[in-house]
A and B are shown apart, each in its own frame.
Chain A
Amino acid sequence: MRGTRRRGHRSLRVGIVCPYSFDAPGGVQFHVRDLAEALQAAGHHVSVLAPSSDDTELPDVVTAAGRAVPVPYNGSVARLTFGPLTATRVRRWLEGGIDGSPFDIVHLHEPMVPSLSMLALWLATEPVVATFHTSQVRSRALQVAYPLVRQSLEKIAARIAVSEDARRTLVDHLGGDAVVIPNGVYTQVFASSARRPEWTGTADAPTVAFLGRLDEPRKGLSVLVQAVPTILDRVPGTRFLVAGRGNGIVAETREALGERASSVEFLGAVSDAEKAALLASADLYVAPQTGGESFGIVLVEAMSAGSVVVASDLGAFQRVLDDGAAGALFRTGDPADLASTVLDLIADPARRDAYRAHAAQWVQRFDWSGVTEQVLAVYEMTLDADHAIAGDVVGRFMGLFPRRVGGDA
């Protein structure tokens, strides 16, 4: 057993594992980075293990677990890392802990994605907390590997789902339950971001922002692009600001738009500061995703920054927009409905203000201050349970092999 602890006063050593590469940042990576930062701000020690190539600049807390290779998985291309060398690295990281002391808690993200987290779950002897982000874990491959994975899933002491949708997926596919703790956003960073004149709209030339991987069909850029002509017919001055990387899509899209292409500006990959400025400056933020979303963190960021959100009516987005009270919803994958929703909003400043006012209140529940507290409560419960009963009954009675189980190390 480890030293005595007083409730809420002890600083914890938390190891966080992120399965996706920091080379191409995405929602889970940002969440992991911010969670690490929030936990450190609360006085805890954190180490993050994530795939990354050597030349990518990483935040100090992140330990690189090696290069991630692009592999087709579950209908899209994911950058994952796996194999025996990686397993060794994971083991070494777990043994190393923080400054030579073992982790109190290992917090895995997406343990069902065949990457670092799955390996860490397999190897961990510490109490494990797991966060499930996705609302799509159905895959035939997983069904095949499931008997192998199931037993290590039992190691998880506490499951967190980032949304009601992620929780439902978890319940449907893996059984069991999870507590819902939303993804956190530093709302103040977005709320206080300065506008950029070149991205700020005017009455005749409103700006509409899009953010996301361009070459990822599920992000729905094509839905927005198909809506562009209709919108321009009615409000010719509208400017579309498209941020995000994606090879080859830019030229293709310009070609498809023909002479209207000049209304669509491709900003490429944007930094965090640029993203905040973009969301603070744009009149509307469009989220035309067609599926595979379990939360919609960018929607919260856009609401925090003061853009009015127009999103497809996926379950996750409905919930993050308070059932349409904090932003407008359109039929998923329907460019005509998107166009008319955008046009309605451009024509109706009062409705935009109403959305903005509601959103400013609503986003508080996603602020890191409250979210961190909830995560820490989960850690506390996990440790309470872990400390409650120690000892290894089978090992004691049979004494055949020395075994290390859940936190008795």
Chain B
Amino acid sequence: MTWSEIALVALAAVVVGLVFAWQGASRLDRLHRKVAASRIALDAQLVRRASAAVELAASGALDPASSVLVADAAYTASDAGPVTSPAAALKMDGLGSARERAESGLTATLREALGSPEAVRDLRAGPAGEVVVGLAAAWYRVTLARRFHNEAVAQARRVRRLWYVRLFHLAGRAPMPRTVELDDALPPGLEPAAG
């Protein structure tokens, strides 16, 4: 091989490397922003759900014991801290185990407090109907937002395992995204299809 041929091959290798790096970087950037954005959306819905739960507790539609427990669980969830700033969301560290536990706790408490599908139907028909509808809407959106968020996390993690992403350190110092794991199963009677 002559000198010029070697130079040409080297140049080609550098160009290919650059293209990969450029592509990988923009792809990863897009996914990181998707993770952060979907996390903010999830956060907003969880806050909405918690405030709907407080409203339900205050409405007098539930028995006193349930009301106290629902309000307590809702406050615990919101005290565990919504993190809505984009900078915080870009850390991509999930919601934190305290928040996840608190939100799952709120789910469990609400499920008990609402009772059977028949009881939910009566609640909907009663004076607190609008509050229950609001709670159902926010809750359903939580389940959607969490799916979409975890989907984005899975995609970002997959791209970060690619060889050229690791080779060129395209992720920089961004932490590895974490999924949000919490119990958000809608109780029977509150699903959108049942309404």
- Measured CB to CB, the residues of A under 8 A from B are 151, 154-155, 157-159, 175-179, 182, 364-365, 370, 373-374, 377-378, 380-382, 384-386, 388-389, 391-394, 403, 405-406
> How far apart sit A406 and B31, CA to CA, in the bound complex (Å)?
10
Contact A385 to B144, CB < 8 A, known contacts A159-B151, A377-B137: no
CB-CB under 8 A from A373, the residues of chain B are 192
CB-CB under 8 A from A178, the residues of chain B are 147
Shortest CB distance B164–A (Å): 13
Inter-subunit contact A176/B154 (CB<8 Å):
yes
Chain B residue nearest to A393 in the complex (CB): B29
Chain B residue nearest to A408 in the complex (CB): B33
Contact A388 to B36, CB < 8 A, known contacts A365-B193, A381-B144, A394-B29: yes
Inter-subunit contact B44/A179 (CB<8 Å):
no
- Measured CB to CB, the residues of B under 8 A from A are 25-27, 29-34, 36-38, 40-41, 44-45, 86, 89-90, 137, 140-141, 143-145, 147-148, 150-151, 154-155, 158-159, 192-195
Inter-subunit contact A394/B40 (CB<8 Å):
no
Shortest CB distance A7–B (Å): 9
Shortest CB distance B47–A (Å): 12
CB-CB under 8 A from A158, the residues of chain B are 144, 148
CB-CB under 8 A from A378, the residues of chain B are 144
Inter-subunit contact B154/A175 (CB<8 Å):
yes
Shortest CB distance B32–A (Å): 8
> How far apart sit A186 and B193, CA to CA, in the bound complex (Å)?
14
Chain B residue nearest to A403 in the complex (CB): B26
> How far apart sit A178 and B154, CA to CA, in the bound complex (Å)?
13
Inter-subunit contact A176/B151 (CB<8 Å):
yes
> How far apart sit A5 and B34, CA to CA, in the bound complex (Å)?
20
> How far apart sit A151 and B156, CA to CA, in the bound complex (Å)?
11
Q: Which of B25, B27, B45, B150 contacts A381 (CB 8 A)?
A: B45
Contact A377 to B144, CB < 8 A, known contacts A370-B192, A388-B86: yes
> How far apart sit A48 and B178, CA to CA, in the bound complex (Å)?
37
Chain B residue nearest to A369 in the complex (CB): B195
Inter-subunit contact A154/B30 (CB<8 Å):
yes
> How far apart sit A68 and B193, CA to CA, in the bound complex (Å)?
36
* Best-surrounded residue of A179, A384, A393 (most CB of chain B within 10 A): A384
CB-CB under 8 A from A175, the residues of chain B are 154, 158
Q: How many A-B residue pairs have CB under 8 A?
A: 94
Inter-subunit contact A377/B141 (CB<8 Å):
yes
> How far apart sit A205 and B152, CA to CA, in the bound complex (Å)?
57
> How far apart sit A318 and B154, CA to CA, in the bound complex (Å)?
31
CB-CB under 8 A from B192, the residues of chain A are 370, 373-374, 377
Shortest CB distance A144–B (Å): 19
Inter-subunit contact A385/B38 (CB<8 Å):
yes
> How far apart sit A178 and B147, CA to CA, in the bound complex (Å)?
7
> How far apart sit A393 and B193, CA to CA, in the bound complex (Å)?
40
Chain A residue nearest to B155 in the complex (CB): A154
Shortest CB distance A389–B (Å): 4
Inter-subunit contact B89/A389 (CB<8 Å):
yes
Shortest CB distance A381–B (Å): 5
Inter-subunit contact B140/A374 (CB<8 Å):
yes
Q: Which of A386, A393, A403 contacts B37 (CB 8 A)?
A: A386
Contact A406 to B34, CB < 8 A, known contacts A374-B140, A377-B144, A388-B40: yes
Apart from A377-B140, A389-B37, 9 more pairs, CB < 8 Å:
A154-B34, A176-B155, A177-B150, A179-B143, A179-B147, A386-B37, A389-B90, A393-B32, A394-B29
27 residue pairs A–B, Cβ–Cβ below 8 Å: A154-B27, A154-B31, A157-B34, A157-B38, A157-B148, A158-B144, A159-B148, A177-B147, A177-B151, A177-B154, A370-B193, A373-B192, A374-B140, A377-B141, A378-B144, A380-B141, A384-B40, A384-B45, A385-B34, A385-B41, A388-B36, A388-B37, A388-B41, A389-B33, A392-B29, A394-B25, A405-B26
Shortest CB distance B128–A (Å): 20
> How far apart sit A384 and B154, CA to CA, in the bound complex (Å)?
20
CB-CB under 8 A from B86, the residues of chain A are 388-389
> How far apart sit A158 and B148, CA to CA, in the bound complex (Å)?
6
Shortest CB distance A399–B (Å): 13
CB-CB under 8 A from B37, the residues of chain A are 385-386, 388-389
Inter-subunit contact A388/B89 (CB<8 Å):
yes
> How far apart sit A51 and B40, CA to CA, in the bound complex (Å)?
37
> How far apart sit A389 and B37, CA to CA, in the bound complex (Å)?
5
CB-CB under 8 A from A182, the residues of chain B are 193
CB-CB under 8 A from A388, the residues of chain B are 36-38, 40-41, 86, 89
Chain B residue nearest to A405 in the complex (CB): B30
